[in-house]
Amino acid sequence: MEKLKQRWGLTSNFQVVLIIIVFSINGSFAAYIAKPLTEFIGLAQETTNPWVFWPIRIALIFLIYQFTLPIVGFCFGQYKFFKAFSKKTLSRMGFKFLFKKEA
């Protein structure tokens, strides 16, 4: 617990617990939202080749996860932490253009 507090710059064990809860809830939420989204774009597990369906579904889950993480974090009072976390992750994945500041 102390390693997580130090690594994430947290002050209490309660914050660590909240952050772990947010990660788990958001993972389930992202997977839940990805199912109707894949159907909306015309991909059904029964009719689509698994080599096409699963990479697209996993990519959707990843993107949904990153964009909803600050929202779910806000509900638990940890918006600042998750905004920075998502920004860092998306920037590393090549989405830096989303965070460019205007001069």
| Dihedral over alpha carbons 28, 31, 33, 35 (to 10 degrees) | -140
Residue 93 has what pLDDT? 82
**Which is nearest to 82 in space by CA: 95, 66, 93, 96?**
66
Given pLDDT bands bounded at 50, 70 and 90, which one contains residue 103? very low
Q: Which domain holds residue 44?
A: 2-99
pLDDT, tens digit, 9 for 90 and up, residues 14-52: 998 999 999 999 999 999 999 999 999 989 888 889 999
Task: State the total domains in the chain.
Answer: 1
